Structure 1
Amino acid sequence: MRFDGGARVALAWLLVLAAPSTALAGPPFLTDDPEPTETGHWEIYGPLVEVEGRGPDYGGATGVEINHGAAPDLQLTVGIPVAFAHDDAGQRWGMGDLEVSAKYRFYHDDAAGLSVAAFPGLTLPTASNGMGNGKVTALLPVWVQKDAGPWSAFGGGGYAINPGPGNRDYWTGGVAVTRQVSSQLLLGGEVDRQGTDSVGGRASTSLGLGGIWQLPAPFRLLASGGPTFVDGDGAAGFHAFVALGLDF
């Protein structure tokens, strides 16, 4: 499929406006899990880069995500992004929308290896240079995880509140399977589905492979990526994420 100049600009802006909902997912996967940061500890991902698009038309964000185990089974998260977009008109940068969320694990059974958590989040209209939604948006998901030895399966999803001209609310969710290959390496794959987030838009399905490589403490490297398929469009796009993690 070929895009004229106007369609390229529209696609690039659509990617930027969609970025906040993606950023609320659990690094490095689009799909989140119900495991909160350990009480009293911090998990920081930064610098991080996440991007999605098709060919030379892409958008995303770079910045930092800060997670804190504020209480037993409670994680507070703040994401501070700098957004970017690229198309035929060139590269554009600006502050992204501030992201705040709270993960609460309300069910945990060690013997069964089962956990369930809610992870509601908001994006606040702090963007500059037209790089954000301009409205408060929200994602209201529930995540479930089952552990069995070195294997973990997790997934779920929820409802995204996405106000603004031409936007619409939508459902989103996914499922992922990971394996702890060694004490240093975790690998996994996922399938993520997002409903139509704009008037006249289309739903999409993303496939991904990802991993976490434990570096000398307290650092780790996280990365994932794969194709994204828009319903009714045979040409695949892409998504990717890479970050340096710091745990203490």
Structure 2
Amino acid sequence: MLHGYTASLLEGAALTLGVALSSLAIAVALGLAGASAKLSRSRAAGALASLYTTVMRGVPDLVLMLLVFFGGQLAVNEIAARVGHEDYIDVDPFVAGVLTIGFIFGAYLTETFRGAFLAVPAGQREAALAFGMTRWQSLAHVELPQMLRHALPALSNNWLVLLKSTAIVSVIGLNDMMQRAGHAAGATREPFVFYGAVALLYLAMTSLSELGFAWLGRRVAVGTRSAAP
């Protein structure tokens, strides 16, 4: 049915998933840092975090991808030339794609985590400190577990959007699922078949992700009690 391109598409799907997971790791780290900056007493840190979220959420993903890939190559080679490196340096499309998507969704997760931290009652931290916990122990054992429960629905939605956004990395030359489908469609002149297969692969990944987040939601809800109707 796929004219021998099944293995190629599955390899592309694995690369796409690698881009998504790597981007998520960066996005979570940036989201936690951004939320901490916005909740801190430092005006400079708060202003920097606000600038970051405004720019990342206001510029289209494709524009940012092209800016990072092509602009990044220019910047890297300019710096290399200044230090005496004469050979041209190519920026890896995988690295450019992961950094771009990670920075974009780090802005969204900044607001997600900020809201989740604010949803945790301040008395929880005060009680932990009163019991003799350090600030970091309170954060790790009291605040973060509760914050995760509040953040999980939005985190799940952001992951699903991030996963689908990986399709744009094909425009910078990454040999991912979309680019492999394009090559196969061009060779066989059956674009509907191959892009339909890509759609089904994305649907499978997002469906499994939803099941995984549903399981995680049940895990983090252990010990909580639902309000009576």
Q: Same fold (TM over 0.5)?
A: no
Q: Which has the larger radius of gyration?
A: 2
- When the two structures are superposed, what TM-score results if normalisation uses the length of structure 1? 0.30
The structure in which a higher percent of residues are helix is 2
- When the two structures are superposed, what TM-score results if normalisation uses the length of structure 2? 0.32
Structure with higher RCO (Cα < 8 A, 6+ apart): 2
The structure in which a higher percent of residues are strand is 1
